[in-house]
């Protein structure tokens, strides 16, 4: 195993001491088969699909219910068998109308992930009979998107005309509290390694680096054991625990010592990056002929029994919190994702008021004790600049954003912000830096799109 002693990306912070992860990483993943799923036709930031089923239809597990409708979107499938009882409309964060397909279960979900009866779940397979084209077609038809958060359709990355040398498998899971990738590596090792060899072949790459932080040494040792004696071009890399180690640029910087130039993609320097959960999903799609219909999610924080759950896409968040024993605080703040980059979806409400459901990109459902912070004027301490992994001056961009000076935000490279939240975390004046910079960044991209320029 390769051990990189220093992750040499600029900036970064240590927002937690590890006790946050212990809440959920000690217990095996629990399987949950809900009676109802509510599948949003928006499964990632850039994609809104239209349902091709109607109320009253019977659908079977894995049946296509919405087709990819453009560059950033991917097919969506029924995650349980049953009857479509409702197709309702809701608003997304940008107030766009989005459909939600509600399916009432008619039978128990057939779980192909836990029975461990298939060859790819028990050994490294010979994939010489599978072509690159077959793998990419499986990704596309199976609705595979990045499970790490951004949710970009995976096949688009692999259709690049650029020569790819390395696949980087991102298993850093640097966000505090989240442990779903950690548990996947401990419990689904062969699925992950078979998925990685499919991704290497799809990319035409030389090899893959599987990158973990050193707070997951047990998972690294387990995978290393599975790799022993195998002729697989996969190398494990153990990186120091530092946030945001899992940022694409930070990972490339730390592992292959290259910089992704501003405005470029990893493919421009011969790299494709995928989350470790995406690698497992790749193997599930290829070897079970079942599309992406389920994922692992961490449910943690102020709940009675924190842990990780393997659930169909569309499982209501309220069902998950209920299964985790319910809230242990009335003063709750419910967050989708982790505390650094996640979005609050409810503050101080009852479980019956909690809306929303698991999407392909939902890695965590976190309940924290809510407290309000009051912003005060910037004291020019420079801390935000010191920790920014993108090398930005967050306080300067923040001033420009407050004055609505988008041109200045652009000149200060707001578009290079990775929305990691490190600046806000360290700011002694509690300034909402990451939020305002992210809003400015989105506005710059929208303006560029309107002008027909590239992102």
> Minimum Å distance from CB 261 to ligand SF4?
16
Interface with ligand SF4 includes 252 (CB under 6 A)?
no
Interface with ligand SF4 includes 434 (CB under 6 A)?
yes
Interface with ligand SF4 includes 439 (CB under 6 A)?
no
Interface with ligand SF4 includes 381 (CB under 6 A)?
yes
Q: Which stretch binds ligand SF4 (CB under 6 A): 45-53, 136-144, 234-242, 428-436?
A: 428-436
Interface with ligand SF4 includes 421 (CB under 6 A)?
yes
Residues with Cβ within 8 Å of 442's Cβ and at least 6 positions away in sequence, in order, are none
Interface with ligand SF4 includes 388 (CB under 6 A)?
yes
Question: Smallest Cα–Cα separation from 418: which of 279, 284, 305, 262?
Answer: 262
Smaller CB separation from ligand SF4, 31 or 379 = 379
Q: Which stretch binds ligand SF4 (CB under 6 A): 55-63, 164-172, 221-229, 427-435?
A: 427-435
Interface with ligand SF4 includes 181 (CB under 6 A)?
no
Smaller CB separation from ligand SF4, 75 or 438 = 438
Which residues, in sequence order, are bridge partners of residue 366? 300, 335
Q: Which stretch binds ligand SF4 (CB under 6 A): 77-85, 163-171, 232-240, 392-400?
A: 392-400
Interface with ligand SF4 includes 176 (CB under 6 A)?
no
Interface with ligand SF4 includes 293 (CB under 6 A)?
no
Burial tier of 229 (Cβ tally within 10 Å: 0-12, 13-18, 19+): exposed
Interface with ligand SF4 includes 429 (CB under 6 A)?
yes
Please select the residue that binds ligand SF4; options are 167, 303, 423, 440, rule is CB under 6 A: 423
Interface with ligand SF4 includes 428 (CB under 6 A)?
yes
Smaller CB separation from ligand SF4, 76 or 390 = 390
Interface with ligand SF4 includes 433 (CB under 6 A)?
yes
Please select the residue that binds ligand SF4; options are 336, 422, 440, 444, rule is CB under 6 A: 422
Please select the residue that binds ligand SF4; options are 42, 182, 280, 431, rule is CB under 6 A: 431
Residue 276, helix vs strand vs coil = helix
Question: Tokens at residue 224, please?
Answer: 């290393």
Supply the DSSP string of 405-433, one letter for each residue.
-HHHHHHTTGGG-----HHHHH-TT---H
Residue 77, helix vs strand vs coil = strand
Q: Which stretch binds ligand SF4 (CB under 6 A): 132-140, 171-179, 214-222, 418-426?
A: 418-426
Task: Map residues 23-62 to x or -, x wherever contact with ligand SF4 holds by CB under 6 A.
Answer: ----------------------------------------
**In this structure, which long-range contacts are made by residues 324-329, counting pairs with CB atoms below 8 Å and at least 24 apart in sequence?**
324/299, 324/300, 326/351, 327/302, 327/303, 327/351, 327/367, 328/302, 328/303, 328/304, 328/367, 329/302, 329/367, 329/369
Q: Is the dihedral of CA 285, 60, 309, 341 positive or negative?
A: positive
Helix 132-141 × helix 276-288 angle, to 10° = 100
Interface with ligand SF4 includes 186 (CB under 6 A)?
no
Distance of CA 263 to the CA centre of its chain: 21
Please select the residue that binds ligand SF4; options are 420, 436, 440, 444, rule is CB under 6 A: 420
CA gap 4, 141 in Å, rounded? 37
N residues, the chain: 455
Please select the residue that binds ligand SF4; options are 6, 54, 380, 455, rule is CB under 6 A: 380
CB 409, CB 236: distance < 8 Å: no
Question: Tokens at residue 242, please?
Answer: 């530092």
Please give the residue ranges that form the binding site for ligand SF4 (CB under 6 A): 378-384, 388-390, 392, 394-395, 417-423, 426-429, 431, 433-434, 437
């Amino acid at each position: 195993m390769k051990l990189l002693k220093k992750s040499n990306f600029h900036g970064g912070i240590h927002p937690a001491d590890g006790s946050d992860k212990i809440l959920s990483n000690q217990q095996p993943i629990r399987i949950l088969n809900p009676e109802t799923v509510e599948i949003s036709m928006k499964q990632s930031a850039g994609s809104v699909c239209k349902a091709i089923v109607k109320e009253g239809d019977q659908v079977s597990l894995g049946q296509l219910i919405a087709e990819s409708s453009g560059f950033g979107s991917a097919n969506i499938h029924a995650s349980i068998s049953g009857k479509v009882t409702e197709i309702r409309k809701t608003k997304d964060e940008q107030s766009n109308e989005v459909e939600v397909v509600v399916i009432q279960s008619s039978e128990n979900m057939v779980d192909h992930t836990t029975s461990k009866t298939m060859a790819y779940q028990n050994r490294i397979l010979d994939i010489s009979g599978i072509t690159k084209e077959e793998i990419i077609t499986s990704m596309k038809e199976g609705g595979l998107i990045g499970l790490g958060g951004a949710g970009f359709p995976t096949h688009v990355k692999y259709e690049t005309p650029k020569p790819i040398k390395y696949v980087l498998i991102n298993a850093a899971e640097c966000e505090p509290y989240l442990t779903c990738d950690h548990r996947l590596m401990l419990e689904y090792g062969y699925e992950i390694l078979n998925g990685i060899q499919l991704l290497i072949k799809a990319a035409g790459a030389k090899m893959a680096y599987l990158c973990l932080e050193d707070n997951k040494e047990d998972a690294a040792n387990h995978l290393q054991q599975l790799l022993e004696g195998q002729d697989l071009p996969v190398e494990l890399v153990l990186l120091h625990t530092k946030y945001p180690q899992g940022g694409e640029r930070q990972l490339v910087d730390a592992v292959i010592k290259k910089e992704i130039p501003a405005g470029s993609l990893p493919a421009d320097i011969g790299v494709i990056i995928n989350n470790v959960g995406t690698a497992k999903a790749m193997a599930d799609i290829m070897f079970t002929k079942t599309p992406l219909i389920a994922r692992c999610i961490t449910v943690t924080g102020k709940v009675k029994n924190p842990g990780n759950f393997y659930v169909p896409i569309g499982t209501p968040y309220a069902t998950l919190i209920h299964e985790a024993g319910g809230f242990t605080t009335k003063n709750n703040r419910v967050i989708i994702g982790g505390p650094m980059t996640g979005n609050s979806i409810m503050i101080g409400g009852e479980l019956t008021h909690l809306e929303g459901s698991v999407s392909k990109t939902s890695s965590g459902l976190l309940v924290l004790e809510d407290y309000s912070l009051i912003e005060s004027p910037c004291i020019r301490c420079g801390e935000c600049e010191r920790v920014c992994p993108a090398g930005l001056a967050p306080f300067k961009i923040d001033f420009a954003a407050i004055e609505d000076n988008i041109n200045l935000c652009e000149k200060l490279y707001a578009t290079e912000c990775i929305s990691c939240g490190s600046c806000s975390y360290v700011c002694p004046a509690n300034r909402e830096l990451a939020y305002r910079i992210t809003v400015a960044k989105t506005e710059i991209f929208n303006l560029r799109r309107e002008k027909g320029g590239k992102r």
